[in-house]
Structures are given as structure tokens and as C-alpha cells.
Amino acid sequence: MKPAQMERTPFADLDRQPREMTAMLLAALEAMGRHPEIRRVRRTAMDALRPAPGWRVLDAGSGAGDVARWMAGVVGPDGEVIALDYSAATIAAAIERHDGSNVRYTTGDVSAIDLPANSVDGVWCERVLQHVDDADLAIAELTRVTRPGGRICLIDTDWSSLAFDGVPAHLARTVVAAMHGRLTPRQVDMGRTLRRRLVAKGLRNLSATPVTCLFGDPASAAVVLPMVNPMVPEQAWMTPPGVRDKWFSHVEEAGARGDFLAVLTIWAVTGTVA
């Protein structure tokens, strides 16, 4: 079955990237998972989801499996985590990193999940919906597989919140606009729409928490923001000639002065299935 992810950003179609790009993207996923701001987002989301020992949890869009393995420690030996990702390369990387915990890794489409209805106690879906063709269809599937009284946690980015300081504002606007649909998804406001989407699906006991991630130097920002990462291949940029070099020159200068700043809001939204 063809995955629902859009053929737009490299993360949305990782298996079709050149081998070198795949390796770079997997390394980027792992680096993001170690970043203090992403860890803060995940702690906020985990506190809202509140998984319990014995739960069966679906990690929909599990990446290299670091959250799935963390969750397995929470649900304990009587629980189970199903780590689902559309990318076979990502699942293979997750299996290589497996630590013996109760995690089952599988490839699949978040918009057509191969699980029975009411078969999991909780769902974790982190920064996936911004990449799919139809987020509401995917949420309907996540709801379908969750039992009544089970919990769903959606975490996603509001790319329209991205802002910089210490660099020329007009240049930042040019770079960010050129990245949308190429290195960042076209669905720039996914994070802020999550609560409304869960309301439409009839979930109750909703909580919605915006977490503003702060990056105080270019090296920290580069882990999460592709437009600040000089390792992103030049051919992936969609800016006019000379803009990339000018941008990185200003970023480097701001870093040297100590006044570089980037902020990005990621939302953690949870609800209970009726």
C-alpha cells in the first residue's frame, strides 16, 4: 500500500532519497531526539498522555524508535508499544537500536493502519501529520484503533510561528518562504489546528499546550531547523543565487556576536476517545 505521506519534503519520502541523504536524515532524527528543546516538548506531551503500566500504545510515525523505547519503560513488561513508520529504512534503523524492551516495529501507513478497531489504549503521533495528504483521515484512523476511554496525543509544529532575531528580517523571510514545501512542509499551521481536529472527531478531556522552543545559537538551531543547517545540500535549497551564502554569513556573524535567536512553537494536544 502506498504511504499517505506527501512527496514533498525529504522526511515525507525518506525511502526514495539517495543513500547518503537517507543516512543524513536518520542522523538528523536522532540528533533532534537528543535536543533539550525537543525533549522538553516530549516531556510535556508525555505528562499529558499519562500512559499507564500495562497499556498497549501505538507510536504512529516512530522514527528511529527512541520514544517507543521510552514508552516501553513506562508501560512495563505487561504492556506493549507498536512502533509504526512508513519508512522501511527508518524501521530497520530502529530495529538496529532495539534495547530488548517490549516494542514491536512495523512499517505502515498512518492513514490506513493495519490494526483492529479499539485495539490500543493510547496513541503517540509526533510531527507526522504535517507531512500527510489528509491529516483528518489519519486522525480518524488513530481514533479508530484506540479503545473508548483511551488517550491520543498529537505533537506537531506550527511552522508559521518560526521567527529569527539577529539576522536581517527580509532575508529570513526570503529563506523561510523558499523552504516551505521543500525542506519544511507546506502545512505550516498543523500544530495550532490539532485541537480543532480532535474536537471534530468527538474526543473529550482535551488539553492543548504550545511549547515555544528557543534556540540561542546557530549550532543549536541547526539540529531542528533545516534552513540553519549548513550540512543540508545546496541543491536542496530553493532560494535565488547567492541568497544561501549571504544567509549563512549573517547567521555566522550573529552567532559570533551572541545575539542570534530562533523560536518555533510545537503543540502537544491530547484527548480521550469517547
Q: State how beta strands 120-126 and 103-107 pair.
A: unpaired
Give the residue-averaged pLDDT of 214-230: 95
pLDDT of residue 2: 36
User: In the numeric block, which cell numbers belong to residue 205?
Assistant: 478531556
Alpha carbons 99 and 238: distance in angstroms, whole number? 40
User: In the numeric block, which cell numbers belong to residue 202?
Assistant: 468527538
Alpha carbons 178 and 238: distance in angstroms, whole number? 6
Where does the pLDDT of residue 12 fall: very low under 50, low under 70, confident under 90, or very high at 90 and above? low
Q: Is the pLDDT of residue 7 over 50?
A: no
* Spacing of C-alpha 69 from chain mean position: 16
Helix (H) or strand (E) holding 127, with range, is none
pTM for the model: 0.90
Q: Is the pLDDT of residue 16 over 50?
A: yes
Express each pLDDT in 245-269 by its tens digit: 999 999 999 999 999 999 999 999 9
Q: Is the pLDDT of residue 10 over 70?
A: no
- Nearest to 196, CA basis, from 136, 264, 122: 136
Give the residue-averaged pLDDT of 83-96: 92
Residue with cell 468527538: 202
Q: State how beta strands 80-85 and 103-107 pair.
A: parallel
Give the Cβ contact number of residue 130 at 10 Å: 23
User: In the numeric block, which cell numbers belong to residue 249?
Assistant: 554569513
The 8 Å CB, 24+ separation contacts for 19-26 are: 21/233, 22/89, 24/231, 26/64, 26/89, 26/90, 26/93
Give the residue-averaged pLDDT of 38-53: 97
Where does the pLDDT of residue 271 fall: very low under 50, low under 70, confident under 90, or very high at 90 and above? very high
Sign for the pseudo-dihedral over CA of 131, 31, 27, 234:
positive
> What value does the mean pLDDT of the chain take?
91
Q: State how beta strands 261-272 and 146-165 pair.
A: antiparallel
Express each pLDDT in 224-246 by its tens digit: 999 999 988 888 888 888 999 99
Give the Cβ contact number of residue 210 at 10 Å: 14
pLDDT of residue 4: 40
Q: pLDDT exceeding 90 applies to what percent of the chain?
A: 77
Burial (0-12, 13-18, 19+ Cβ within 10 Å), 78: exposed
Alpha carbons 270 and 47: distance in angstroms, whole number? 10
pLDDT of residue 158: 97
Helix (H) or strand (E) holding 105, with range, is strand 103-107
Q: State how beta strands 204-215 and 56-60 pair.
A: unpaired
Express each pLDDT in 178-211 by its tens digit: 888 777 888 899 999 999 999 999 999 999 999 9
Where does the pLDDT of residue 11 fall: very low under 50, low under 70, confident under 90, or very high at 90 and above? low
Where does the pLDDT of residue 18 fall: very low under 50, low under 70, confident under 90, or very high at 90 and above? low
Where does the pLDDT of residue 54 fall: very low under 50, low under 70, confident under 90, or very high at 90 and above? very high
Whether the CB-CB separation of 64 and 30 falls below 8 Å is answered with: yes
Q: Is the pLDDT of residue 1 over 70?
A: no
pLDDT of residue 3: 36
Ordered structural domains, the chain, with CATH: 10-273 (3.40.50.150)
Q: Which residues contact 240 (CB under 8 A, 6 or more apart)?
A: 174
